[in-house]
A = this chain, B = another copy of it.
Amino acid sequence: MITILSGGTGTPKLIEGLRHLVRDEELTVIVNTADDIWWNGLYVSPDVDTVLYLFANILDTEKYWGIRGDTFYALKQLTRYDAEWTWFSIGDKDLATHIIRTYLLKKGLKLHEIVKYLSRKLGVKATILPMSNDRVETIVETDIGVMNIQEYLVKYRAEPEVYNVKFPGLERALPAPGVIDSIRNAEIIIIGPSNPINSIGPIINLKEVRETLRKTEVPIVAVSPIISGKPVSGPADKFMKALGYDPSPIGIVEIYKDFLDGIIIDVADKVYVEKIERKYGIKAKATNTIMLTLKDKVKLAEEVLDLAKSLK
């Protein structure tokens, strides 16, 4: 059993690779829910849905969100009605997911039960766990004002300067049922190459999750999302700098050092291998981490599994 901590883009690519090496049934993915939003009265869980659609083989793997080939007729009509947040594109089929999720939430089901329900309906064999059933938000303080993470990422295309990132609700949030057990019972724990601040950050900052990660004997390996000081996608560097971390594999290690056993960094950053191993006592391996082709993804997944196995 492999447990993966995931956000919305980098980690799903790694998971695509893992799926060629390991059966879906052996994968458990704990997914960030701190960037969930209420969109015109519907509850949208972007990172969970990306992982869900990935395992259902319907993910739009051009964009890494939404359903492949989806249409946008409802969105167009909502724009005609001057609905809010129509810059946050939701396709017609994708909308169905948000409608049923919202309906089931109103009926009293918990988020993790709904994810399980949708997984079953979509034939997903992996276990997908929202990090928490409790509402956590991601608020970004920027040079043009304070805003929700989706406004920052989508509406403002991650362009404003970032001063701070806050997670209202995170302190009181509990891990969803299954999350702690999936960490305890894993043979390998993988922290995917997602933004360490706003994607992985909320998961590992759930109090019980952090404690369990610290205590567990299970090898924990991460893949650095930063290459030569820049993230492959998204604003991880801006967020890291805002919170005082160097946008480098060292910064990544600083964030995960409490519990990390090994890290894959990009060949471009191989100069850091020695420092990570010497200063932090964390095993580091430099390899290609840019996942353009399926071959890249499978290759990186192999490296991750090899590193983890070497740590047992």
Footprint of B on A, CB under 8 Å? Answer: 40-42, 67, 70-71, 73-78, 80-83, 91-97, 99-100, 102-103, 106, 117-118, 121-122
Contact = CB atoms under 8 A, between A and B. Distances in A.
Given A74-B99, A77-B97, 6 more contacts: A42-B99, A74-B95, A74-B96, A78-B96, A81-B117, A92-B92
A81 B81 CA distance: 27
A73 B70 contact: yes
Nearest to A100: B81
A116 to B, nearest CB: 13
A121 B82 contact: yes
A102 B70 contact: no
Q: How many copies does the complex hold?
A: 2
A74 B97 CA distance: 9
A88 to B, nearest CB: 13
A41 B104 CA distance: 8
A117 B117 CA distance: 36
A297 to B, nearest CB: 27
B81 A93 contact: no
5 contacts: A71-B71, A71-B92, A73-B73, A81-B118, A99-B99
Nearest to A38: B103
Contact of A41 (B73, B94, B106): B106
A240 to B, nearest CB: 36
Contacts of A91: 73
A93 B71 contact: no
Given A42-B99, A99-B83, A92 B74 contact: yes
B99 A78 contact: yes
